[in-house]
Each structure stands twice: as C-alpha cells, then as structure tokens.
Amino acid sequence: MVHIEKIQSRADTNVLTRWFDFASLSPLGLAGLVLVAVLPVIPPFNQDYLIRWMVVGLFMAAQAVAFDFTGGFINIVNFGFAAFVGLGAYTSAILAVNLGVSPWLGIWLGLIPAGGIGFLTGILTLRLRGIYAAVMAWFIGLALMGLATKLVFLTQGPLGLNCPTLFKTAGNLPYFYLIFIMFLVIYFVLQKLARSHMGLAFRGIGQNMEAARASGVNPTRYRIINFTLSCAFAGWLGGFYAHYYGILMPDIMHTAKTVEVLVIVYIGGRGSLWGGALVAIPFVFATEMVRSIFSQHPGVNLIFYGLFLMLIMIHYPGGVAEFYRHLIGRSNNRTLLWLVNK
C-alpha cells in the first residue's frame, strides 16, 4: 500500500513538472506572479501612487522581455527600440483621434506598423554584424523620432498629442491588471519560442554565426524573424502607453528610453528573458525614490543607472540570472530544486 502511494505521489509530481515545463514556469516563478497579481490590494501597496509605479514597472518588464529577445539571443542591441514603442503609440493615438478608432482596437493595430518597420529594418541592417547593426537600428530610431517631431499636423510634435484613455476611471488598478496580462502574453510567447528549435537557432546565431550557418541555419532569416517579433511587441506596448498616459510627445522615442530598458535587461541577466522582468518593478521603485529624494537635481537617476550597471558588470556580468544559477548550482536540496524546476 505504501509502495502504491509512493508511485502515485511520483506520478503527481511528474504531472506538475510537465505542466510547469509546458507553461515555461517554475513553481517559484508561479508564486512570484501570484504575488505580483495580489500586491495592489495589499496595504501599503494599494495606494494609488504605488500602483502607478507598479504599472510602470510591469510596462518596463514587458519591454525588457521583448528587448532581451533580440539582445540576449541574436546578440543585436536594438538602440532604436524606444522608437518602435513610440511608433505603436502614435499609430494607435492618431487612429483614435483622427478616425475615431477604439483604443482597444488601436493598441492591436499599433503592432502592425511597428512589426512592419521592424521587418524592413531587419532586412536593411541585420546583414551587418555587431555594432554596425546596432548603430543602423539606432539611426532608424532617430529618423522615426525626427518624423514624430516634424509632422506637427499629424502628431502635434512637441506640443503633445492628446488621446483617449482605455478606462474612464482615474485610478490605476485597471491599468495594472491590463499591463500584467500583456506582460504575461509577451513573456509566454517569447519563452515558448526561446525553448523551441527556433530559439536554439537564435542562440546559435548569437554565440557563433559561422558555426550556426555551417549547421544549416540561415542567420539573416532567423535574425529578421527575431527582430520583427521584438519590434511588433514593442509597438503593442506603445499602444498601451498612449492610452494610459493620454498624451504623447516625441521624447517617448528618445534613445534614453531605450537605455532604461537596456539597463534593466543587463542587471537582470541578458538572454534569460525572466531576469529583466524580475528586477523591473524593484528598479522602478528605486528610481522613483531617487527622483523624489533628489528632485532638485534632475538627472541623478542616470548616475544611479550607470553605477549600478558597473557594479553588476564587474561582479556578475550575467546579472541576477547568473547569480541565481550560481546559487542553485551549489544546492542539493530537493525541495529547492523542485521549486526552481530543476
């Protein structure tokens, strides 16, 4: 009887393990997501300004996952990333203001031009290598920002384009759960791709392009697919940004916005997808507190970015993800290994 119970217990554990593998999650990761989901209703985090910080944190987390899909897998740093976020934002906002398109539809339509321009950018730039591809992506981002600034009849330029919000309420809670769902969609789609044969090709290209080509992988094709997906999700998130804040200005496309995402990705651990997502909310909280404390000294947060990034690069170049793998690799505790799905 005891033997049968042991077999049943092992079978149940195997079913759970297979489910977590399918969901691209660990039990610890699931617990973390549940904690984030209930955090806005737990004091003191139920205060509206803290919920707003969490909305921004999840927005940054979703951007970090999309950015890391390119930077961490095919080893191309998309310095024009923020411009694709802005492209999706302006598309959705202009459709809502000029054509009366519902913002709920507009955020999806914003995905199309961002993905399309991302595809064309990939064709133009991803035949190049290393810094040349990154710089070309940056130039295209600057061009998009220039268009947003100069096409005043369409975008209102520096004056700002007012657009309708997604919810009539002034509270942040509905936006929190919306961006939480969007984050989950982006994370699970890209994580499933990363664990597929396509993800293996991405990693192979990022680590050694010539070896990947010798194995029958077409580097240009896979890099374009990767870049297009990343840009499309950036545009989708841009639609959320437009109808969350209700006003758009060209500085959403500024390279500084890309750098913020880049810092989060590198602190979290490039190539992990989950690393940047893990540190995004604490990072936003820390940044907002620094801005509040040093409100008379704008730009101090940039010093904070630089110092923190230098410390991470010196001690743990792989970021939080490397530190996590280092700790887990030294553990023989079965319960802990199950919690992290090892």
Taken in order 332, 336, 340, 342, the sign of the CA dihedral is positive
Out of 37-41, 220-224, 329-333, least confident range: 329-333
Per-residue model confidence (pLDDT) at position 6: 47
Out of 214-228, 234-248, 316-330, least confident range: 316-330
Per-residue model confidence (pLDDT) at position 241: 97
Per-residue model confidence (pLDDT) at position 22: 58
Per-residue model confidence (pLDDT) at position 228: 95
- Count of CB atoms within 10 A of residue 335's CB? 8
Cα separation, 279 vs 284, whole angstroms: 9
pLDDT at 302 over 80: no
Q: Please count the CA atoms within 13 angstroms of the CA of 310 that sit on its side-chain side.
A: 6
For residue 160, give Cα distances in angstroms to 72, 245, 247, 249, 287.
34, 11, 6, 5, 25
- Assign 79 a pLDDT band (cuts: 50, 70, 90): very high
Per-residue model confidence (pLDDT) at position 170: 83
Taken in order 259, 85, 55, 293, the sign of the CA dihedral is positive
Q: Greater confidence, 316 or 262?
A: 262
Region 55-76: mean pLDDT is 95
Q: How much of the chain exceeds pLDDT 70, in percent?
A: 89
pLDDT tens profile 235-276 = 999 999 999 999 999 999 999 899 899 989 999 988 889 999
pLDDT at 184 over 80: yes
Per-residue model confidence (pLDDT) at position 215: 86
Out of 204-218, 259-273, 290-304, least confident range: 290-304
Three-state SS sequence of the chain: CHHHHHHHHHHHHHHHHHHHHHCCCCHHHHHHHHHHHHHHHCCCCCCHHHHHHHHHHHHHHHHHHHHHHHHCCCCCCCCCHHHHHHHHHHHHHHHHHHHCCCHHHHHHHCHHHHHHHHHHHHHHHCCCCHHHHHHHHHHHHHHHHHHHHHCHHHHCHHHCEECCCCCCCCCCHHHHHHHHHHHHHHHHHHHHHHCCHHHHHHHHHHHCHHHHHHCCCCHHHHHHHHHHHHHHHHHHHHHHHHHHHCEECHHHHCHHHHHHHHHHHHHHCCCCCHHHHHHHHHHHHHHHHHHHHCCCCCCHHHHHHHHHHHHHHHHCCCHHHHHHHHHHHCCCCHHHHHHCCC
Out of 14-18, 54-58, 165-169, least confident range: 14-18
Region 223-243: mean pLDDT is 96
Distance of CA 153 to the CA centre of its chain: 31
Per-residue model confidence (pLDDT) at position 116: 95
Look at the block and give the residue holding tokens 């970090």: 64
The pTM assigned to this predicted structure is 0.90
Cα separation, 70 vs 78, whole angstroms: 7
Look at the block and give the residue holding tokens 């990761």: 29
Region 151-177: mean pLDDT is 92
Per-residue model confidence (pLDDT) at position 342: 56
- Assign 120 a pLDDT band (cuts: 50, 70, 90): very high
pLDDT at 154 over 90: yes
Region 168-188: mean pLDDT is 94
Region 1-29: mean pLDDT is 58
pLDDT tens profile 16-55 = 566 556 556 777 888 889 999 999 999 989 999 999 999 9
Q: Greater confidence, 229 or 209?
A: 229
Region 187-213: mean pLDDT is 91
- Assign 199 a pLDDT band (cuts: 50, 70, 90): very high
Write b or e for each residue in 279-291: b if 16 or more Cβ atoms lie within 10 A of its Cβ, otherwise e.
bbbebbeebbebe
